[in-house]
Amino acid sequence: MTHGTLRLGTRASDLARTQAGTVADALVGVGVNCELVPMTSDGDVTRASLASLGGTGVFAARLRTALLAEECDLVVHSYKDLPTAPHPGLEVVASPVREDHRDALCARDGLALAELPAGARVGTGSPRRVAQLRTVRPDLEVVDIRGNVGTRLAFVTSGELDAVVLAAAGLHRLGLDEVITETLDWPTAPGQGVLAVEIRSSQDAPLREALAQIHDGGTWACAQAERSVLATLEAGCAAPVAAHASISDGVGTPGPRLTVRALAYRPGGGEVLEASAEVEPAEAVAAGADVARRLLADGAADWIHD
């Protein structure tokens, strides 16, 4: 590797810096020095709802502008925050091994979701989680919240809310496992728990070769299947859509098999459409598109684009 120290762009939040740090550490492990270049995005400084900000991409725009301006050499995103359309001049080229993809309930008094009293106030900024909560527990009051992990958890410790729902991956990465009162067994946002390393399309082979050493092919295939669902639905992170893919070891089959499951929720909760497919990992993108088309055929567009 002939590069000097690489400048790795990241959002300035504690979670984003921690995520980027895992990539930097992995690169150091293959002989590449890195320094973090923290930046503040529009999504980090406003308390407006994610839907009103335009949804997917609000956290990524600042990093991408800096990357194109050569203020840094690579950037790290949460893959679920990236629009599905390619960005001119940039490429996502690597994803390390996925963290826990699930959602986590963080509730007062160690309560699980089923144990929360009727009328309990539960906070989330995700329309998908709102629909899931209202489907499972229509008696709850779901409150729209914004802010970093610490801010959201403080709503519970202050008594303003009874619980919040967060991504388990972020809590694990921040060493906050003790605040999780239940790991929720429902499908989550496409790409949740996956990091995306993006570079300029013009960047050279040594950087690409280094990133290939920290890349996980199974994580990549699952993320591409999930994002293909989102792209085919023409939906963003402000839509009540969930998708999750996993790869089995292929026992009883000629090789590994990828299963992708996608769901669309009525925004107010109470109704859900579901489709799934099982394919070879090389067919991940096609499988995601196929299950999305089946959701659309069943009427999902009325909920997604409402």
Which residues are known to be catalytic? 80-81, 128-129, 146, 152, 237
Structure tokens that stand for 119 in this block: 């009328």
- Contact assessment for residue 172 and residue 101, using Cβ atoms and an 8 Å cutoff: no
Distance in Å from the first CA to the final CA of the chain:
50
Distance (Å, whole) CA 129 – CA 241: 9
C-alpha 263 chain-centroid distance: 16
- Contact assessment for residue 24 and residue 37, using Cβ atoms and an 8 Å cutoff: no
CA-angle at 102, arms to 249 and 212, nearest 5°? 55
Distances (CA, A) of 112 to 50, 137, 142, 244, 282: 26, 12, 16, 23, 38
Distance (Å, whole) CA 156 – CA 111: 12
- Contact assessment for residue 13 and residue 44, using Cβ atoms and an 8 Å cutoff: yes
* Helix, strand, coil tally for the chain in percent (to 5): 35, 25, 40
Q: Is 226 helix (H, G, I), strand (E, B) or coil?
A: helix
Q: Is 69 exposed, middle or buried (0-12, 13-18, 19+ CB in 10 A)?
A: exposed
Distance (Å, whole) CA 141 – CA 67: 41
